[in-house]
Amino acid sequence: MKNNNPISYIKYILTLFVISTLISSCDSSSQGNLTGVEGRQIWYQADPYGMLYIPMGSFVMGPSDQDAPYSHTTKAKTVSVQAFYMDQTEITNNEYRQFVFWVRDSIMHQILGNSGYEDHLITEDYYGEPLEIPRINWDEDIDLEDPEVMQVLEPELYFASHERFKNRREIDPDYLQYSYSWIDYKDAARKSPTNKGDKLRQRGIEDRSVFIKTDIIPIYPDTLCWIHDFTYSYNEPMTKMYFSHPAYDEYPVVGVSWKQARAFSIWRTDLMNSYLSSVGSSWVHDFRLPTESEWEYAARGGLDQSPYPWGGPYIRNLQGCFLGNFKPLRGNYIDDGGFHTVKATSYSANDYGLYCMAGNVSEWTSNAFDESSYDISHDLNMDYVYEAKDDDLPVLKRKVIRGGSWKDVGYFMQTSSRAYEYQDTGKCYIGFRNVQTYLGRSKGDDL
């Protein structure tokens, strides 16, 4: 039936117009063109605290001088490395202690939470926002002298009474264990992209969970390394105080195994990403151990084919002073200004601003050690890894260390010198630093 009401007709026309406008506005901004997803967050890479930007580049990796020990484990090879960040110093005792305390507080949180002591926890930050992981309120709520509290904590965290020295209540480091996970991308990449289902089933794999690796390790440094690394040498004072006393806070952490260094890197990543999530920001690349190529490229400081981070070919400056902490001459350990380790900011930084890339402590890299790795590795972000299992032969558990240490002769101070240590051992002359891949190609591309 025909509608002769002009007002109803106008309403009908307006309704059609609104509907058509809404439909067309669903993609009105692109106007039918390929414009990408709109409304994406504008994001810029912020320099991580304590890290320096290392620009992408190519360099000649390998020996700049004679192969003094005739080890034949290196060769000259042009390698290209993408941009990344690197810690300005080796990870210090106090920085690693933050990790240890986080693990300690998390364990206490779990123990107390399971025992009905939630009131002893801080669940909100200064601004009233909920914490992802509550902290122990040491200052106000928790009383370690409270028999009820200690009755809960002691069996699962402290030395038993018969193990105490001078009846001091101390946390048993063996209880400070950290559970962490990572994805083995190299193993995952071996699957066939064309017949994924059939290939995976042939390998007994149903889903990607098989590529998610999990490990649980004690994370407290091996403080006895100062004693067991040297026979007939009095290093008990270092064992007692090096990691615990404030006097050594800015010294590089030692006694940390390769696995512990990797656990620290994963924890540091989670710590940062938890904060970024809380402020609504995008995540960043993982903190990790550097590859061999990244480490050597950064150590050279842009000085290609230079034997030392400061240039070369000498290990002293014009005034005759040594430029790093190592074992000079015939064993005069104090002639370079050190003795054991020194503060992580000692001596002069290289041209990238990195301290102690030669001497002080050797540094773990992410790479497995193999004498032929230079021959088989790619020249693009050169990387050779092997995920050693507990029952593998010791030779498969070797990880590359770089930079030389306070107890090494000058040859190991060279940027190209490489050595190894076993991944499950901590030494008083090995520490580490982290890197983080730069998000993008290079600084300035977003201008």
Q: How do the pLDDT tens digits run along the chain, 447 residues long?
A: 455 565 665 666 666 555 555 554 555 567 888 888 888 877 778 899 999 999 999 999 988 766 666 667 777 889 999 999 999 999 999 999 999 999 988 888 777 766 655 555 666 766 777 766 565 555 545 556 666 677 777 777 888 888 888 888 888 899 999 999 988 888 888 765 555 556 556 666 667 788 888 999 999 999 999 999 999 999 999 999 999 999 999 999 999 999 999 999 999 999 999 999 888 888 999 999 999 999 999 999 999 888 999 987 889 988 888 999 999 988 899 998 899 999 999 999 999 999 999 999 999 999 999 988 888 899 999 999 999 988 999 999 999 999 999 999 988 999 999 999 999 999 999 999 999 999 988 888 765
Q: 10 Å Cβ neighbour count for 150?
A: 15
- Say if 51 falls within a structural domain: yes
CATH of the domain at 388: 3.90.1580.10
Q: What is the pTM of this model?
A: 0.84
pLDDT number for residue 6? 58
Here the tokens at position 297 are 């490229």
Q: How many residues comprise the chain?
A: 447
pLDDT number for residue 446? 62
Contact 172, 159 (CB under 8 A): yes
Q: Which residues contact 67 (CB under 8 A, 6 or more apart)?
A: 74
- Say if 230 falls within a structural domain: no
pLDDT number for residue 320? 86
Identify any residues that bridge with 214 across adjacent strands, giving them in sequence order. 181
pLDDT number for residue 342? 96
Closest C-alpha among 22, 62, 7, 17 to residue 297: 62
Contact 213, 263 (CB under 8 A): no
- Say if 94 falls within a structural domain: no
| CA end-to-end distance (rounded Å), the chain | 65
**422 sits in which H/E element:** strand 418-422
Pairing label, strands 212-218, 430-431? unpaired
Our count of domains for the chain comes to: 1
CA-to-CA dists, residue 108 to 97, 101, 133, angstroms: 16, 10, 12
Identify any residues that bridge with 59 across adjacent strands, giving them in sequence order. 79
- Say if 259 falls within a structural domain: no
- Say if 280 falls within a structural domain: yes
Per the structure, the complete domain to which residue 74 belongs is given by 44-88+267-447
Contact 90, 356 (CB under 8 A): yes
Q: What is the phi-psi region of residue 69: left when phi exceeds 0, alpha when psi lies from -120 to 50, beta otherwise?
A: alpha
The burial class, CB within 10 Å (0-12 / 13-18 / 19+), for 444 is exposed
Backbone angles phi, psi at 79, to 5 degrees: -130, 140
Alpha helices in 301-439 (DSSP H): 373-376
- Say if 341 falls within a structural domain: yes
- Say if 351 falls within a structural domain: yes
- Say if 220 falls within a structural domain: no
